[in-house]
Each structure stands twice: as C-alpha cells, then as structure tokens.
Amino acid sequence: MAVVTVQLGQCGNQIGFEVFDALFTDSQCSQGFCSKRENEAYQASCTERFFREENGVPIARAVLVDMEPKVINQMLSKAAQPGRWKYDQHARFCQKQGSGNNWAYGYSVHGPKHAESIMNLIQKEVEKCDSLSGFFIIMSIAGGTGSGLGAFLTQHLQDHYSNALKMNQIIWPYGTGEVIVQNYNSILTLSHLYRSSDALLVHENDAVHKICAKLMSTKQISFRDINQVLAHQLGSVFQPTHSAECSFHYRTNPLGDLMEHLVPHPEFKMLGVRTIPQMSETSLPYSTFTWNGLLKRLRQMLISNAKMDEGIDWQVRPPLPKLPPPGKMCLNREQHFNTSLANLLILRGKDVQNANLEGFRDPALYTSWLGPADAFSAWKTPRAFNRYERSAALVSNGQFFVRPLDAVVGKAWNMFASKAYIHQYTKFGIEEEDFLDSFTLLEQVVASYRNL
Amino acid sequence: MTQSVVVQVGQCGNQVGCCFWDLALREHAAVNQKGIYDEAISSFFRNVDTRVVGDGSSISKGKIRSLKARAVLIDMEEGVVNEILQGPLRDVFDSKQLITDISGSGNNWAVGHKVFGNLYREQILEKLRKSAEHCDCLQCFFIIHSMGGGTGSGLGTFLLKVLEDEFPEVYRFVTSVYPSSEDDVITSPYNSILAMKELNEHADCVLPIDNQSLFDIISRIDLVVSSGKLGPTVKQDSLVTSSARALKRHKKPFDAMNNIVANLLLHLTSSARFEGSLNMDLNEISMNLVPFPQLHYLVSSLTPLYTLADVNIPPRRLDQMFSDAFNKDHQLIQADPKHSLYLACALMVRGNVQISDLRRNIERLKPSLQFVSWNQEGWKTSLCSVPPVGHSHSLLALANNTCVKPTFIELRERFMRLYKKKAHLHHYLQVEGMEESCFTEAVSSLSALIQEYNQLDATKSVPVEDVPRLSIAV
C-alpha cells in the first residue's frame, strides 16, 4: 500500500527531499547484510510504498506545496540527478508571495483560496496508487505556510479521505527562536491538528541539532545536516519490515499498523522517535554493536527521556511493581521517569530474531490502564538499514513531549497576556477566542499526558 | 517571487536611491553570470526591449536586454535628478517615472506636503499605478527620504497616505534619514516632527538612520584602513568603497555614507530574492518585528564593515561579526541597544554561515541583552546563501528596541526650543491648510510614542513573572 507525501512550506520541502533521498539510497544499497532475495523483496516494497515508476525512473509519490517558488524550484532541480529519483514536475503548487510567518494568513487566506487546487493535485497522485495507505504531511509549526496552510489542508484531507490515515510529521522549532511568533503559530497548529490528524510524529530541531553535534561530530551544522538526520530517523521507521503473520512477506500497511499500535486513545496523539545507533559515515565501518547493548541503551533512553545516545541518565529507574501511595508519585516525576502509553520497536539487521525484547515488556514502563501486551509491539527485518549492521528505532507515545509542549504553551501564554502581535492575526480573522480555544485544548493534552 | 518599487523623494532620497541602484546592479551582475532575466532580478528591475515603444516593451523571460529600475523619482528641484539622468545610471531609469519641479520646497514641510502634495497628487498616483501594473505581484514600496528638509520630509510623507489608500495590501517600508544635532537646516526639527506624525500613522515599518552615525562609521573605517592596523589581510575594499570603485575614492563625503544605506536595503531584501536554507520574506519583517502597530521603528546595524582577504573565515572572526552587530558603534542611528530593552530582534545572515554558527552566537550574546518579559527568547533568523559583493558573509541586525527613544526625545527638545519662541513659524502657517494645531498634534503624537517606550522601559528592572496559566479540570 502506498503513502502519499505532502510537503508544505520551506521546511516541509527541504525535509521531504532528504527523506525521499534517504529512502531511495537505502533501498538501492547492496550492503544489506542479508540474502539477495530478501534485499529484492525489501527494495520492491520500499519502491511501491514511496515511489512509482515512469519510464524506468522512480518518481516520488509527493505533492510539493509552497506559497513562494524558490524552495520548490531548488528541490525539483536537486532531485533530477541522472540514475536517481525524481519529483513529478506537475505535482507542485506555488504562489508568488509567502505567508509571512503568519498562521492566520496561511490558514484563512491561502487555505480557502488554494485548497481546491492542492486537493486536485493530491487526488491525481492518489489515483496513481494501487491502494492508498495514507498520507504524510511534512510541515513546520513555527512558520506561516507549513503551519497555517498545513492545519487547513489536514482538515480537508480528513473530510475528503476519511478512510485514509494521516500522519503529520511536524518540526518543532528551536527553543530560542527562529521566528518570533513561533509559539503562537505552534499552539494554533497543534490544537487544529489534534482535531483532524490521526497522529503527530514530532521532530525537535534542538534534539536533532544535538545529535549532529555530539554523535555525528559535524563541525558547522547546516540545515541540510539536520534534515539528513531526520530523514534517517524517518527511514528507519518506515522502510519495509516483515509482517507479523508471515516473516516471508513485507508488511503492506505500515501506517495502519502503526496507528493501531501507537494511538489507542484519541487524546494521546503525540509520537516521538529515537534511533540507535547514530553516527557519522566515517565512524560506521569501525563500530559493531550487539542487540543486547543497543536495546539496553534504547530502553534507558526511553525511560529517562533522553533524546539521543549520549549523556543518558542511568539513575532513572521505573517505579516498583506494587502501586505506590499518592505521595510517592511525585518522586517519579522528579526523577523524570518517562511513562509510555504505547511503544513500537523496529529492529533491522543481522540476527534480528535473536534480539531479546523483554526489557520493553516490563509493565512498569507503561501506564496502569494499558499493559504491555497491548501497549508494546515489535517489527523486524533482517535487512540492514542505511548500512548500519544492526539498528533499532523506537516510536513512542509517551511523556516525551510534556516538557517542550508545556514550555511552548507557557511562552505563548505570556505573550498572549501582553497582546503582543495579536493585531497581525486578527487582521486575517483569527480572533482572541481562537487563541483561547487552542490554549484550552493544549492544556488538556499536557494534563492528560502528565497523568499517565 | 514578488516585486518591490522604490520611491525616492527629495535630494537625500534620490542620492541614496542612486547608490542603491548602482549597488543592486552590481550585485545582480555578480550573481547572474548568464545574463538571463530571472525572478531575483525581476524583484527590482524590469526587462525592457528598448526598440519597442510603449507598453509592449516589457519582457518577462529570456536574456536581459535592458534593465529598468522599478523606481519612481520625485524631487521638487531639478538638480539632483538631472545629475542622475546624466550620470552612468541614466539608462536604468525610465524617463516617464520622474516627477520634478523647479523651485524646491525651501526646507519647508508644509510646502512639500500641502502645496506640492496637492499639486502633484494625480501625477504621483499615475506613476505609482504604472509601476504597480508592471509588477506580477507587488509586495512592497520602499520609500527613501530625509526628515529634515522640505521635499523628502513633506512630499515623502504625503506619499505614504496616498500609498495607504491606493495600495492598502502593499507594505510601506520607509528609510528615513534623521537630522543630526549639528544639522545646518534650522527648521529641521519642525520638518521632522511633522513628518514623524505621518510615519506613526501611515508607515508599516520605519528604519531610522542618522547622518552622524554614518559619518562616525565611515571615519572609523578610514582610520583603521589607512593606519594599516589590520595588517596585510585587509583589502582596501570595504562597504564604503565597493560601489565607488569606478569613481575616485570619496568623491563626495555623502557617497560613502549613502552606500551604507544602500547596502542596508539590499541586505534586507536578499533573503527574499536569493535562495537560502532559511528564507525570510519582507512580509515576515513586519510580522515578527512589529508587536504593536505603533511600535514600528527598527534600529539597524550592518557588519562587517571591511572585507578580509581570507575566504574561509575561522569561527572567531565570524563570531566577531555577531558581536559587532550589537555594539553601539555599529548602529545606524545614535543608539545603544545593549543597554536598552529589546522587544524583538532579527538577524539576517548572508553567505557561508550555517545554522550552528547562528545558534552558537545567539546563545553567546543572549545573556548580555535585555528582552521584554513576554518575548524572552524571541529571535527571528534567516540564512541566505548569496553573500554581498566583495564579502564572504555579512549580517544585518534589525532591532525593535527602546534605544530609539533618546533620538525622539532629543528631536522633541529641539522642536520645543524653536516652537516656544514661534521661530520661523510664519513660513509654515502661511501655507494653506496649515494651522498651529498641526504642530500640537504632531508633538502629541510623538509624545504618545515616547510614552509607550517609557512604559516598556519601566518593565526592565521588574523581575519576569509568569502569568498564571489556565487550569484544567481533569
């Protein structure tokens, strides 16, 4: 089943390019550490899911949308390298003037004006799929187009493709801004997406930046470097894996399976991904890992809320089996123990069937009302990803984002209390009540996650 | 891609404008090696086939034939505009886009605003409409003028109201040159205050500049370059001389100063014209830097001011560029942003600089800056890959900061000194439509603005307290 990607705004388009590039490079990689037959099945599955063929050239199943032309033009020409993949030249929607970092402009002006044309382009791409699994919508939440137009479009996709799943890949901006009104744009986007999206896979710029600095040892980190790490993380989740029933076939509906496992309750839609190992290309040949080593570290990353494989706090432990009295609950929070609602572990590489997953089946990791039998699942494939002999990705629905979300809501609230910049939003029809609605919804989300 | 139209009014406006167009041509010539008319050039220039007469002459694609600036030149004296039309840039300007008169405004805002405003309203409208028609998607008007004289100040601000009425969706960015305290025009305080009221009410964004600061910057560069202190790594090229390479150095003292302002405008629009990993369009400037409609005065600083011979600048030099941007000696008005309160700050970087360099410097400089309580971490950043001519990287910092206040307060004081004695007032009052109330209203408008800045400054020493959040019943 195919996934159609909608790339929105500068961020969405720049990242989308790196994602398709990473998926393509990995699928073409001959160093899969597995049998030739396995490799071919993997390749075929990946290609069907993310690309379609036209005259022997793979075309990404994507629609590129931006309100100004520079970035899309750049991405289209970057992709058209000989012997690699391409974008469909017609699957693009562009205007002349951007959204000015204004959520209201993206949502209330660009949205209604252009939704129909964009939906037509998406429909064309959907028609070229044998069967549609769902949509990726890649967008930032700090700017104007990705965030505002993205929120509007997701709603439209909800209305028109009610059977298809929508996963929004949202890019969480740096804490010390890229855009001054990013907190406003973020809360407006998140509250709207919460109502119309099926899942939000959150990627934090700060976290990925640190991965580049510490793990990849990149000296002068550019957005390209950041986007490539992000693409690696996404690829390690969405490249093909064996289906549960039969380990000779590749899973056909990853999106559906993922949503089923990770979003058991509509109030909890925020997902995060951690991958291990992560290192620069030059270090790769010199490193070997065991599944035990990798999984132990990944588990500790999960429970201590570490975003990368460095500086992990090994002091944090899950609470003891018997229910602690209410007073003791605070102790866990102080230790920053991260309770999960649901976890999906994806393992790729050599002797993956020998990996011991018991650590992730510990009921102490999960909330009281959903035990590990329902909350935890694992996908595997012996085919290695991106030349990492063994690698694991963990997609988690848990308390990862309580703190960042709380911080953004807090900053937005402080700014809102002073009424700064509000005139820029009311100019385009977003009133104070709309802000208040967003705040209310998000405070609810924070509270729900806190109480897991 | 959008287009912008530059409207240059008065002697100062036209002289700065001239420098701007010269620099813009050089920049595009350096970037656009193939001579194809692309979207970046079209933001400021039209491509015209001069063999064709009339409206059919515009060409939208293909090779560059003849570039015409998207500009309207207005002056109530002929001297400056004539000089431009006889100089090396004569072919860049469309002779139909000029409005001139003979007598000048006599350094009298009332003459510029009321007399010439009314006289030339229709013509102005017609030229503006024409230039707008030539644009696919007009985003912004850049108005360049001085505050102290009569034409730039009076007619220039009259224009603002016309633009607001006729093109309400198009941004109005005003580059205003404020009179320094040693200004030789006696009535400059009157002109400036009367113009300020218009800027308060009808401009989207104002970039105040003052001659004294520009002069100080030029002097400092001259001193360092001629003393040879920086050693052999310093080229004799700098922001100052980059456009005057063809001419004798320092032909006129104002040339170097105007060049800085021209660079400012080019830099401001660079991220909208050229590619980069984090673009910033012009509409994002007012969105991010104007938290309340009246507070739209942005203090600017451009660094570095001299080029260095090395191509790969080691991080220390790069970091120096960021530090300098916050230094009071680099600001284009007499202001000290570090010791005042920031409402918002934008850093627009050009050249081979990556996000990590930007972030490192923000982290490094943040502790020494004071931000308003509701925007403690608010930075607007942009990265444009194309550096300016003759540099490998450069930085434009735009700050909405209470450090503009002293400039306004001083202006008001100079105004009051004249007004109390009713000095030269009759020159103004004898113009039809002018009354004393024009003056009193203008001063109260300025006072209200100063009061807003005062209130913000008062919050400086108050510890930041979080506003209580909504409580949710779980």
Give the tens place of pLDDT for each residue, B306-319.
Answer: 543 333 445 567 88
Among A311-325, B121-135, B254-268, B446-460, the minimum mean pLDDT is found in A311-325
A10 touches chain B (CB under 8 A): yes
DSSP string, A26-45: HHH-S--SS-HHHHHHHHHH
User: What percentage of chain B carries pLDDT values higher than 90?
Assistant: 55
- Share the mean pLDDT of chain A: 89
Strand A390-398 relative to strand A270-276, pairing: antiparallel
A317 touches chain B (CB under 8 A): no
How many Cα atoms within 13 Å fall on the side-chain side of residue A325?
A: 1
- Judged by CB atoms closer than 8 Å, whether chains meet at B375 and A415 is answered as yes
Cβ-based neighbour number of residue B367 at 10 Å: 7
Q: How far apart are CA A266 and CA B447, in angstroms?
A: 54
* pLDDT one-digit tens code per residue, A161-171: 988 999 999 99
User: pLDDT-based confidence at A55, cuts 50/70/90?
Assistant: confident
Residue A19 has pLDDT above 60, yes or no: yes
Do residues A413 and B469 lie in contact, with contact meaning Cβ atoms separated by under 8 Å? Answer: yes
Do residues A240 and A46 lie in contact, with contact meaning Cβ atoms separated by under 8 Å? Answer: yes
Residue B245 has pLDDT above 50, yes or no: no
- For residue B63 the two structure tokens come to 């090779």
Among A136-150, A323-337, B112-126, B167-181, the minimum mean pLDDT is found in A323-337
Residue B474 has pLDDT above 90, yes or no: no
Q: What are phi and psi of B105, to 5 degrees?
A: -100, 5
pLDDT of residue B291: 94
- For residue A217 the two structure tokens come to 């040892």
Mean pLDDT for the stretch of residues A195-224? 90
Do residues A10 and A138 lie in contact, with contact meaning Cβ atoms separated by under 8 Å? Answer: no
* pLDDT one-digit tens code per residue, A392-428: 999 999 998 999 999 999 999 999 999 999 999 999 9
Classified as helix, coil or strand, A371 is coil
CA-based nearest residue to A16, from A67, A81, A53, A66: A66
Q: How far apart are CA A144 and CA A106, in angstroms?
A: 5
pLDDT of residue B37: 85
Residue A325 has pLDDT above 60, yes or no: no
DSSP structure class, residue A201: E
CA-based nearest residue to A126, from A62, A55, A66, A53: A62
Quote the radius of gyration of chain B (alpha carbons, Å): 22
Strand B299-303 relative to strand B306-308, pairing: unpaired
> What b/e string do you get for A398-420 counting C-beta neighbours within 10 Å, with b at 16 or more?
bbbbbebbbebbebbbbbbebeb
User: pLDDT-based confidence at B440, cuts 50/70/90?
Assistant: very high
User: What percentage of chain A carries pLDDT values higher than 90?
Assistant: 58
Mean pLDDT for the stretch of residues B225-232? 56
* pLDDT one-digit tens code per residue, A72-99: 999 998 988 888 999 999 999 999 888 9
Q: Which helix (H) or strand (E) holds A234?
A: helix A223-238
**Which residues share a beta bridge with A203?**
A171
Pairs across A and B, CB distance < 8 A: 142
Residue B294 has pLDDT above 50, yes or no: yes
Do residues A362 and A375 lie in contact, with contact meaning Cβ atoms separated by under 8 Å? Answer: no
**Least CB–CB distance from A101: residue in B2, B136, B288:** B288
One-letter identity of residue A424: Q
pTM, 2 dp: 0.91
pLDDT of residue A322: 55
Q: From chain A, pick out residues whose CB is under 8 angstroms from the CB of B467.
A: 413-414, 417
Classified as helix, coil or strand, B167 is coil
DSSP structure class, residue B115: I
pLDDT of residue B257: 87
- For residue B59 the two structure tokens come to 């060409």
One-letter identity of residue B162: V
DSSP structure class, residue B152: I
Q: From chain B, pick out residues whose CB is under 8 angstroms from the CB of A209.
A: 355-356, 359
Do residues B157 and B198 lie in contact, with contact meaning Cβ atoms separated by under 8 Å? Answer: yes
**Least CB–CB distance from A181: residue in B139, B287, B292:** B287
Mean pLDDT for the stretch of residues B384-396? 87
End-to-end CA distance of chain A: 34
- Judged by CB atoms closer than 8 Å, whether chains meet at B279 and A224 is answered as no
Among A279-293, A388-402, B201-215, the minimum mean pLDDT is found in A279-293
Q: How far apart are CA B140 and CA B222, in angstroms?
A: 35
